[in-house]
Chains A and B, each alone.
Chain A
């Protein structure tokens, strides 16, 4: 019979190993460490077609994930898909005129939202540039570049490409050109 002390030490080792394994599953295997979604701001974009996009799909800029899709709704007024995205708080300097498109990762991969940065030009910068061209002192101007903030909406969007629609367009073009050729002959 093992002494009580040895038994308890072994049980302690067992429990510690179990908790360490759980911790490893949480931190190393799953995506807990990647992004803290609670800590961020929400932006919105309207797409003509959001097929294939899912809640929790990634939102990327320059190929780096900066957030996730949190809601996809249908707007009955504009008949468009309203996609809400939560962006990590660290990335609060995205230009307000950025555009959003729905892309496919790989040939058969999942859909994700890709943001492309806009010029980020604001009235102050334009005014300063103008002033410089005209050779006079730029007037002092308030407010920095306009950035995407909580609740902002991305205006320039490009929805997902549906394979059937693409094929249909090719086929109709092909038929059209074929018809023209026949007519010419």
Chain B
């Protein structure tokens, strides 16, 4: 019985310890941001590997999510004779929820895991220690550019996802199912609000980008420097990011659209 309690206590302490280390790392990264200003190349390089290389998966899944929304929305709405509102359904669900959330989940799988594995391997092969030996701060040289790149790429990826999804819904709704083209766009423009919907979606994706890259960078930096440790850290990145994004999404939705 006491063993059980001790076990529980040790795990709880472990969680708090990791949270504390993660916060400290975030503070270090933020404090090191100013050193990136004279060297934007570092960030550009990372935007390439985090953002550009995620483009294909984002565009493809955005198109298909939009097409599925178009099909499902049409089948439901046509029962009420309201298929003209298809544009509203597709655009609102994409801009408010699916765009930021699905992009963040894909981002965790595509970019977050890669970040963790890369940093973890750097640690395992003692590249980070080597940098430190050369009096280069690995947090500023390696972690900070990756963090900034992830944070900046997420909203762009989410916007591309939503835009492509709206077009996918358009192809299915207007092209295949015969919804009136004018109604699709005009109803959408009538009901989707720039501030309430689009801006809040962008804020959501910024928050997700922050959390997703933070977790990825921390897990890599905190990985046990063995091949098994790196593989575990990569798994943890994907799991924790997905959970954090979904939980955070509920909180943000309640704050933004609650009233």
Residues on A close to B: CB < 8 A?
4, 7-8, 10-11, 13-15, 17-22, 24-26, 28-34, 56, 58
Contacts and interface: CB of A to CB of B under 8 A. Distances in A.
B44 A25 contact: no
Nearest to B88: A29
B22 interface: no
Nearest to B155: A18
A19 B156 CA distance: 7
Contact of A30 (B55, B155, B160, B197): B197
B198 A26 contact: yes
A18 B202 CA distance: 12
Contact of A10 (B52, B162, B192, B197): B52
B192 A14 contact: no
27 contacts: A4-B41, A7-B45, A8-B44, A11-B48, A11-B52, A13-B52, A14-B47, A14-B153, A15-B47, A17-B156, A18-B51, A18-B155, A18-B156, A21-B159, A21-B164, A24-B163, A25-B95, A25-B162, A28-B189, A29-B91, A29-B166, A29-B189, A31-B189, A31-B193, A33-B189, A34-B190, A58-B190
B193 A11 contact: no
Interface centre among A13, A25, A34 (most CB of B within 10 A): A25
Interface of A is mostly: helix
Contact of B48 (A10, A24, A33): A10
> Which A-B residue pairs are the 8 nearest by beta carbons?
A18-B156, A21-B163, A21-B159, A30-B194, A22-B159, A30-B192, A21-B160, A14-B52
Counting contact residues on chain B (CB < 8 A from A), the size range is 20 to 34
A63 B157 CA distance: 39
A86 to B, nearest CB: 15
B189 A15 contact: no
Contacts, number: 86
Interface centre among B55, B160, B193 (most CB of A within 10 A): B160
Contacts of A4: 41
Contacts of B67: none
Contact of A34 (B51, B95, B162, B189): B189
B55 A14 contact: yes
Contacts of A34: 189-190
Contacts of A33: 189
Contacts of A28: 166, 185, 189
Nearest to B54: A14
Contacts of A32: 194
A29 B198 contact: yes
B188 interface: yes
Given A7-B48, A11-B44, A30-B192, A17 B55 contact: yes
